[in-house]
A and B are shown apart, each in its own frame.
Chain A
Amino acid sequence: MTRHAIPLLLLLASAAFAAAGAGGQKSNGPKSSGDDRGVLRAIAEAPVATREWVNPYEGQADAVAAGKKLYLRHCAECHGRDARGSGRAVNLRSPGVQNAAPGELVWFLRSGNLWRGMPSWSGMPVERRWQIVTYLKSLR
């Protein structure tokens, strides 16, 4: 077994380091100023109909609090606790994000942007995605 294990473990270690290195190029940059055009372009690709989606939690203080709780749990590691971006991810207080329709943001959270490292949050119930968007919109 050892004969096969050593080369495969070396291959695994190489792959992990290669992936870590690729990620490192992204995180060496300055704190995001919110002009990550790739992400903003991806949000803009949301179907037109999503602009008409109505936020069921709009203006609800409980939803803002719940959204903040979810944000800190799932999003803050990349976007920063203050949502100003961390170099790894876009500034969520930027005009590009704040001017997007709530429905576009909910759609984007579901879809993600896997190629650029934004995971799909389709596994998160849509109710929670609306709560996060309600919180983000409260940062305006």
Chain B
Amino acid sequence: MSLAARAVFGLLLFAAMALFPRPASAQETPYFITYSHRLEEPGNLELEFSSNYAAQRGGNDFVAPWLEIEYGATGWWTTEIYIDSQHTLGDGALFTGWRWENRFRPLMREHWINPVLYVEYEDVNGADKTMIEVVGFDGEADHAVRNAVASREHLHEIETKLILSSDFKGWNISENFIAEKNTGHAPWEFGYAVAASRPLRLAATARPCNFCRENIVAGVEMYGGLGTTDSATLSGTSHYLAPMVAWQMPSGVTLRISPGWGLTHPSHRFLLRWGVTYEISGFGGKVRKLFR
């Protein structure tokens, strides 16, 4: 991870904890790739620092950290900005771009299956290795190119997702259908992500606790590419299976970790993702007071 990325995140987290000492505790899913229908609570701000380590055949292993700043604009709209970076061993570190995503819940009530519409604009370069989504024929070979060469390619992409998600007896089950288009003349690329998770204990205990089963959520996700409009297929695409666990502390901090394994030849053999999240309740109201 680059020193600059670490410094920026550290400063943001320190400022958040100093200025907004009342953290929130939302209904987080432990997923790194799959989205559920749970949006950010209105007025809350979430800072998240995550990272993706990948073992690389035909090149050097890398770590790709990213920073997420997520805001609950309304009860049905969450907006989020990402700042991506990466460090390839023996090849240096660099900032690889940014993304702006928006999620909308079209239905105002809870249903058995809850749809969410997702739209994202990405301005990243070819050296981006965060692998926040896997689409088309994305594969390990794409990440073997040296940074100096890969970063010359600039990608302006629109990504859309249909998110379907259900909560049932403590379980969350989510399915994402992804369509991504380079604003140039590349074809649409498709992908998917599915996941399930559940807290280790459903009812809360009467006593306050930090490291207890009710604060731990475990799950598993699977994601991969589905080819392009020219060749929609499962063959020759990357697919991953990744169990994960999240520890949601009452202080508002959530820690997550997820090892992942590639299931097909074009996939990385092994991934390890981890992240730390800090949620600030009532951020919007506090910002408004500054401008009064």
Q: Which A residues contact B (CB, under 8 angstroms)? A: 1, 4-5, 8, 12, 15-16, 19-24, 27, 61-63, 65-67, 69-70, 73-74, 77-78, 88, 110-128, 131
Q: Which residues of B contact A88 (CB under 8 A)?
A: 43, 285
CB contact under 8 A between A114 and B41, given known A24-B285, A70-B204, A77-B22: no
Residue B21 interfacial (CB < 8 Å) = no
Which 7 pairs show the lowest CB-CB distances between chains A and B?
Answer: A123-B27, A19-B73, A114-B75, A65-B206, A127-B203, A125-B202, A125-B170
**Cα distance, A126 to B208, chains bound together (Å):** 19
Majority-rule SS of B interface residues: loop
Interface size on B, residues (CB 8 A): 52
Q: Which of B103-111, B139-147, B260-268 contacts A (4 or more CB under 8 A)?
A: B103-111
Indicate if the CB atoms of A131 and B204 lie closer than 8 Å. Answer: yes
**Cα distance, A63 to B167, chains bound together (Å):** 23
Q: Which residues of A contact B42 (CB under 8 A)?
A: 23, 117, 119
CB contact under 8 A between A115 and B108, given known A4-B123, A69-B208, A70-B204: yes
Partner of B284, one of A5, A20, A67, A122: A20
Q: Which residues of B contact A74 (CB under 8 A)?
A: 24-25
Who on chain A is nearest to B71 by CB?
A16
Majority-rule SS of A interface residues: helix
Who on chain B is nearest to A24 by CB?
B288
Indicate if the CB atoms of A12 and B76 lie closer than 8 Å. Answer: no
Q: Which residues of B contact A5 (CB under 8 A)?
A: 98, 123
**Cα distance, A20 to B282, chains bound together (Å):** 10
Indicate if the CB atoms of B79 and A16 lie closer than 8 Å. Answer: yes
Give chain A nearest CB distance to B169 CB in angstroms.
8
Indicate if the CB atoms of A73 and B75 lie closer than 8 Å. Answer: no
Indicate if the CB atoms of A15 and B73 lie closer than 8 Å. Answer: yes
B10-37: contact bitstring with A at CB < 8 Å (1 yes, 0 no)? 0000000000001011010100000011
Partner of B75, one of A24, A119, A123, A125: A119
Residue B81 interfacial (CB < 8 Å) = yes
Partner of B199, one of A23, A125, A131: A125
Q: Which B residues contact A (CB, under 8 angstroms)? A: 22, 24-25, 27, 29, 36-39, 41-43, 71, 73-77, 79, 81, 97-98, 100, 105, 108-110, 114, 121, 123, 125, 154, 156, 167, 169-170, 172, 199, 202-208, 250, 281-282, 284-285, 287-288
**Cα distance, A127 to B73, chains bound together (Å):** 29
Who on chain A is nearest to B283 by CB?
A20
CB contact under 8 A between A12 and B100, given known A23-B284, A113-B108: yes
Q: Which residues of B contact A118 (CB under 8 A)?
A: 75
Give chain B nearest CB distance to A59 CB in angstroms.
14
Indicate if the CB atoms of B110 and A128 lie closer than 8 Å. Answer: no
For the A-B complex with A23-B288, A122-B167, A127-B202 known, give 17 more contacts whose Cβ atoms are closer than 8 Å: A12-B81, A16-B71, A20-B287, A21-B288, A23-B285, A65-B207, A66-B204, A66-B206, A114-B74, A114-B75, A115-B108, A122-B110, A122-B114, A123-B27, A123-B36, A125-B169, A125-B203
Indicate if the CB atoms of B105 and A69 lie closer than 8 Å. Answer: no
Give chain B nearest CB distance to A20 CB in angstroms.
4
Give chain A nearest CB distance to B74 CB in angstroms.
6
